Structure 1
Amino acid sequence: MILMSLILFPSAVFVLAGKSQLIEEFGNQYRDVGPLSESREFQQNLLEQQKKFQCCGLAQGYMDWGHDIPDTCECTGSATSNPCVELNTKSNSVRMVYEKPCLPYLMEDYEWFVTVFGGIAMAFVLLWMLSVVLSIVILCKLCQKEDAPAVVYHTGEN
């Protein structure tokens, strides 16, 4: 148990201390995805995130999609929380799409996940270490020899 505590504690501290580096690495991975219209396996998840956060694209907004901007990028009326921008399409019609990219929202979600996971890991490690300390205390108490006082029976007769 002691050995496991020595492994788990630095791991949990590393996750919490390196949270900003983990989040930055997460953002860098998504910045390097390339044109979104070419990576089909990534598109489905991003389309769901665009609906959820009312955003478009990753790092550069709607420009990440190139000429194939999906319907999930379209502003739907005045109930949107994010600003919209006008685009002229090939058919000379005006299309309103979300201006802000999704990467800041994705990084915020990832930061929340890392914080919760790190907190749970730290709580688990602290409980584990508490059990180690209590086990050591119990073992020390068991090893101590206490002189038991002699028991004297009194029958009540003189």
Structure 2
Amino acid sequence: MAGVSRCMKYSMFIFNFFFWVICGCIILGFSIWIRVSSTEQVNACSHTSTIVYAGVNLLIAVGAIIMILGFLGCCGAAKESRCMLMLFFIALLLILILQITGGVLGAVYKPQVEEAFNRTLSTSVNALQSTTGEYTEYQEAFQKLERKEKCCGLLDGPQDWGKNFNKPSSKICQCELEKPSSDLCIKYGDRYIYKRPCGEVIVQQIKDNLIIIMGIAFGLAVVEILGLVFSMSLYCQIGKK
């Protein structure tokens, strides 16, 4: 043990166990929860699912990788293996670089992403207006979303449904409240319909998920930097034995 600080060694071990194994489990579990909890929105807006869940899928992968790295770091510290510690350091550094790169690219290409998202919404509107029967399943799923979120259409309310809105016995966008509130419902033709477009609901959900993802990513970056410092310090101390 000459030349190797017990404090550094066990700090590295404890750091990896609590912050990587446990943190990895939390990130993985929470990301899967976000992914699964919004299944209905994905089904109703299948055209936008790639955009909505790209960040969540990335977090699932990161959580799994963190668990593996945590195991590698714990073993490297316990066995005083320079090889394991260097692998841990390199992998952690690559993840940090990828996170920073992803953040920069997201900021730089934000207008293009928003434009692509708007085009995707327009495509979804065309699916709502279709009368060929090709998108029947999608339309039914979207009506479930409307009832759940108390919204109507994607961008322009009932106009997004085209001729489908006026079909006999159609209950599209119909406000199902016993006493329709002016905050939620408006009079349209011979019935009350929900006032808010579902596009606003989808955008808000994306923003909420992005805030969570950004918060986790920022906290993760801080922990990663600490991991880099711990692993390299221990690596150097072992080399001086």
Q: TM-score, normalised by structure 1?
A: 0.69
Larger of the two Rg values belongs to structure: 1
- Structure 2: distance between partners of 1:5 and 1:100: 40
1:28 aligns with 2:119: yes
**1:63 is the counterpart of 2:163:** no
Q: What residue in structure 2 maps to residue 42 of structure 1?
A: 138
Q: Which of 204, 208, 216 in structure 2 is aligned with 1:112? A: 208
Which residue of 2 is the match for residue 132 of structure 1? 228
1:32 Cα offset (Å): 2.8
Deviations 1:45-94 (A, max 9, x none): 3222211221111111011112323525112332544131221xxxxxx2
Question: Residue 78 and residue 99 in structure 1: after superposition, are their counterparts in 2 closer, same or farther (change >3 A)?
Answer: same
Count of residue pairs the alignment pairs up: 138
Structure 1 equivalent of residue 101 of structure 2: 10
Which of the pair is proportionally richer in helix? 2
Which residue of structure 1 lines up, in the alignment, with residue 185 of structure 2?
83
Query: What is the root-mean-square deviation in Å for CA atoms of aligned residues?
Result: 2.7
**Could you state the TM-score of these two structures normalised by the residue count of structure 2?**
0.48
> Sequence identity of aligned pairs in percent?
22
1:74 aligned onto 2:174: yes
Find the aligned partners of 1:27 and 1:86 in 2 and give their Cα distance.
26
SS at match of 1:84: strand
Consecutive unaligned residues in structure 2, runs of 5 or more: 1-89
- Cα distance in structure 2, aligned partners of 1:137 and 1:131: 10
Distance 1:114 1:98 in 2: 27
Gaps of 5+ in 1: 88-93, 146-158
Is the Cα–Cα contact under 8 Å of residues 180 and 192 in structure 2 kept in the other structure? no
Deviation readout 1:21-54 (Å, 9 max, x if unpaired): 4455434311232151423343233222211221
